[in-house]
A and B are shown apart, each in its own frame.
Chain A
């Protein structure tokens, strides 16, 4: 499975916060890339906070939703407080609202 051509993950760290910006389509093909990128970074660096930013995410399906929710769990387990940054695409926003998962909090 290869990720969608327009999918991308950018990880940027500053002051103990890891900013994970997801661009393009977050689907079944993209899921492993996102999960690996985050797990990999957190296994090497201690962060106090992980901000997952979907302002530039164009599409999320049920696999993408799971990928996003796994991000919260991975951050929580690495003792980094997870936060979701919404914005941009209406479809993505309404999916996350219907899924009831816009409000991220720490639970590990």
Chain B
């Protein structure tokens, strides 16, 4: 037998130095009774010692490996029998036999794992010589099987617990990774613009499809807020497609409507049979040297962004068009608007409206009123006011919003 591999098996069962256990105590008590001997042991043979999982009739926890008869017993597959140790050439010089202990009879049955490693033995020991019948050997074999079953059971229970823990850990990692993929790691610093973003999660265990992205482009900055229909990994995967598709399109000459058209084609052609849809609001914001900014915006099935003017007026901007993924060749429409210095553009997902106007509502009246109250404030102050409103409510859906203010 390959000793290093056998020791690996001993480690795998993780039984060494574990506390006493009723199941094993019962087996050794039963073995001693059936054989009518004073001592019965469940032993595990370690690299340098023989450790006793159960030791009926013997007040010793372990012995050195050298004198141990169990170390010899595990070297073979069947029973290891010594009927009179004092006359047996294999054992007569053994200190347990020749010494004070006076061992004369030993019958050991290896504890063999399902993959063939002998971990130790179930043995019965007497200080008198004895004969052993075939029936007794069969009994010892059955009892050794019971011991091995118990060890296997404990191993598989332990493995199950470990596996569950690993799966839970993996699921958490996946959820966190997906969540991270929905949002940019950090918002870019754009001269002339103050950009604030907030994200609220309704349920930590279930990744929603709300997302936003802000990235610089040749003409300023691209800003997108979206909702990939549905929840979980599929929604997150579609979010990734949307974010990177838009970022790619914005590397060249682009308008929001053109970019949404491209994205729609990507989703429809790539996911024609996968029922994937996303609502998006996409804006190109170009800060102007004298203050303020030019805004171009297109919508794909998304609630209209709002522009809060310094006088408290709130304009709804954008032209409704179908969700991305709805059908090939959808025409999206660019709308342009001017943002004066201090004006505020608010782009949000329907989860934000859910909180402010009630579940399932697309009515933005209350959000507009809330913004009017915030007239003249900074982007961060407006974002905090909205954030506060969201934090005080129990979310039924995720909510994301962006607040952009030209300086």
A interface residue numbers (CB < 8 A to B): 25, 28, 31, 58-63, 65-66, 69-70, 73, 77, 91-92, 94-95, 97-101, 105, 107
Complex: A62 Cα to B279 Cα, angstroms: 9
New contact pairs (20) apart from A73-B273, A98-B301, CB-CB < 8 Å: A28-B230, A28-B231, A59-B359, A61-B354, A61-B360, A62-B230, A63-B229, A63-B231, A65-B229, A66-B229, A66-B277, A69-B275, A69-B277, A94-B362, A98-B304, A98-B362, A100-B300, A100-B321, A100-B326, A101-B326
Please report the C-alpha to C-alpha distance between residue A107 and residue B229 in the assembled complex, in whole angstroms: 19
Q: Is the beta-carbon distance between B229 and A69 smaller than 8 angstroms?
A: yes
Compute how far the CA of A92 lies from the CA of B273 in the bound complex, rounded to whole angstroms: 25
Q: Using A69-B275, A73-B275 as known contacts, say yes or no to A100 and B323 having CB atoms under 8 A apart.
A: yes
Please state if B328 and A99 are interface contacts (CB–CB under 8 Å): no
Query: Assuming A62-B230, A66-B277, A69-B326, is B360 touching A91 (CB within 8 A)?
Result: yes
User: A98 to B302, Cβ gap below 8 A?
Assistant: yes
Flag whether B327 is at the interface (Cβ < 8 A).
Answer: yes
Closest to B279 in A: A99
Residues of chain B within 8 A of A95, CB atoms compared? 350, 360, 362
Q: In this assembly, does B145 line the interface, its C-beta being within 8 Å of a C-beta of chain A?
A: no
Q: Does chain A have a CB within 8 A of B72? A: no
Q: How large is the interface on B (under 10, 10 to 19, 20 to 34, 35 or more residues)?
A: 20 to 34
B residues engaging A (CB < 8 A)?
Answer: 209, 227-231, 273, 275, 277, 279, 300-304, 320-323, 325-328, 350, 354, 359-363, 396-397
Quote the shortest CB–CB distance from B362 to chain A (angstroms): 4
In the complex, which residues of chain B have a beta carbon less than 8 angstroms from the beta carbon of A98?
301-304, 320, 362
Residue of B nearest to A60 (CB): B360
A62 touching B350 by the CB < 8 A rule?
Answer: yes
Q: Which residues of A contact B321 (CB under 8 A)?
A: 100
Quote the shortest CB–CB distance from A51 to chain B (angstroms). 19
Q: How far is the CA of A107 from the CA of B272 in the complex (A)?
A: 10
Given A98-B303, A99-B279, A107-B328, A65 contacting B361 (CB threshold 8 A): no
Q: Which residue of A lies closest to B322 (CB)?
A: A100
CB nearest neighbor in A for B227: A62
User: In the complex, A101→B320 CA distance in Å?
Assistant: 10
Contact B361 A91 (CB under 8 A): yes
Question: Chain A's nearest CB lies how many Å from the CB of B91?
Answer: 67
On chain A, the residues within 8 Å of B275 by CB distance are 66, 69-70, 73
- Residues on the A chain within 8 Å of B397, using CB: 61-62
